[in-house]
């Protein structure tokens, strides 16, 4: 929910000036509904992109509230479809949606080869250990 609140515009109205960075889950939903243009079962977002049910529901509700998509709910299915004004909005905001760096994705260095073999045991550096930890723990318990 916090991700969604970061980019929601005031009074559920989207404008280019108010929205700068979009969470990855919203970009994935927008790409999929833009690509297919027909009715899509929302469970597909969980299955294909491993989005949580909360992310899917928040994203779908946000898109429906802002007139980007239509939602069809029944006992057997929950589907979403992009509307013509949604297509126009995505076309107008495509650079921000698809070319900006993700705010919720942290980058870190990943070595080309692992620092140790997977079958090796992990041995911590002794200098990083608090050697009197158990002594302090016993003192706190008394």
The average confidence (pLDDT) of the chain is 78
pLDDT at residue 123, as a whole number: 79
Model pLDDT for residues 57-99, shown as the tens digit of each residue: 999 999 999 899 999 988 888 999 999 999 999 998 888 787 7
Domains recognised in the chain with CATH numbers: 2-98 (1.10.10.10)
> Is residue 33 helix, strand or coil?
helix
pLDDT at residue 9, as a whole number: 43
Spatial contact of 29 and 45, defined as CB atoms under 8 Å apart: yes
CA-based end-to-end distance of the chain? 43
Spatial contact of 80 and 42, defined as CB atoms under 8 Å apart: yes
Rounded to two decimals, the pTM is 0.57
């Amino acid at each position: 929910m916090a991700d969604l609140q970061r980019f929601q515009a005031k009074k559920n109205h989207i404008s280019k000036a108010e929205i700068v960075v979009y969470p990855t889950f919203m970009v994935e939903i927008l790409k999929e509904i833009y690509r297919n243009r027909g009715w899509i079962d929302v469970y597909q977002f969980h299955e294909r992109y491993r989005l949580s049910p909360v992310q899917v529901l928040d994203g779908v509700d946000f898109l429906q509230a802002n007139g980007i998509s239509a939602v069809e709910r029944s006992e057997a299915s929950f589907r979403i479809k992009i509307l013509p004004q949604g297509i126009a909005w995505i076309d107008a905001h495509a650079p921000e949606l698809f070319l900006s760096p993700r705010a919720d994705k942290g980058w870190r260095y990943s070595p080309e080869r692992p620092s140790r073999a997977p079958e090796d045991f992990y041995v911590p550096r002794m200098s990083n250990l608090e050697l009197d930890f158990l002594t302090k723990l016993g003192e706190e318990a008394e």
